[in-house]
Amino acid sequence: MSRTNVKQNLDARRVTQELFTLTYGAFVAQILNDYEHVDEVNKQLDKIGYNIGVRLIDDFLARNPNVGRCHDLRETADVLAKQGFKTYLGISPSITNWSPAGDEFSLLLDGNPLTEFVELPEGQGQKLSYNQMICGAIRGALEMVQLEVECRFVQDQLKGDNATELRVKFLKKLEDALPVGED
């Protein structure tokens, strides 16, 4: 690749999907080495995702000045699936399985770029929630816009399920801290 080419790629602020996928894989593999229990690995991935999410939301808002405060969870789900996932993972999951109360929904991921070359290790490794970082990132990002949610994978193609389904449950709306002496 010529030098100008490299520069052009940098300007577009893009890396190839393969590099991204392999980096994430190497990263998960390293954490698997570092911790003894898979449960602990899942927890760490979630925590890392959370720390990414609380920062990523500001980047997201900076890129999308037209996104304002959402009025209900359906709007939030829409922005999350069509703009959030699109911006950072290049996919647009479909939104399904709304709970009757409208406080819980699923995102069906078709073609997850993170799992392109992945096979879960035998034994304990089968319990690994490889994409857990996504859950953490969603939780972190929504917390910054005053929405407390719970986020988990209920189906995972890596574990032999038919689809990869991510469940998001609304817990509560966080309130702004009031200045002292105000009500």
Partner 1 sequence: MVVYNLYIFNRNGQCLFYREWLRRRPGTMTQEEEFKLMNGFMHSIKSFVQRLSPQDLKDGFVSFKTNCYKLNYYETATGLKFVLNTDNNVGNIRDILHQLYSTIFVNYIVKNPSCSATDIINTEQEIFIEKLDEFISNLSIFAQTNKA
State the residues that interact with partner 1 by CB under 8 A.
Answer: 54-55, 57-59, 61-63, 65, 67-69, 144-146, 176-182
How many angstroms separate the CA atoms of 56 and 49, rounded?
10
Output 123 or 179, the one with its CB closest to partner 1: 179
Q: How far is the CB of 67 from partner 1 (least distance, A)?
A: 7
Output 76 or 106, the one with its CB closest to partner 1: 76
- Residue 35 sits at φ, ψ, to 5 deg, of -115, 150
Side-by-side strand order, sheet with 147-155: 94-96, 104-109, 164-173, 147-155
The helix (run of H) or strand (run of E) holding residue 168 is strand 164-173
Q: How far is the CB of 11 from partner 1 (least distance, A)?
A: 15
How many angstroms separate the CA atoms of 150 and 82, rounded?
20
| Residues with Cβ within 8 Å of residue 104, at least 6 apart in sequence | 98, 167, 168, 169, 170
Q: How far is the CB of 144 from partner 1 (least distance, A)?
A: 5
Output 31 or 61, the one with its CB closest to partner 1: 61
How many angstroms separate the CA atoms of 101 and 127, rounded?
31
Output 109 or 138, the one with its CB closest to partner 1: 138
Q: How far is the CB of 149 from partner 1 (least distance, A)?
A: 15
Output 93 or 140, the one with its CB closest to partner 1: 140
Q: How far is the CB of 63 from partner 1 (least distance, A)?
A: 7
Question: If you search the block for the tokens 């229990």, which residue do you land on?
Answer: 37
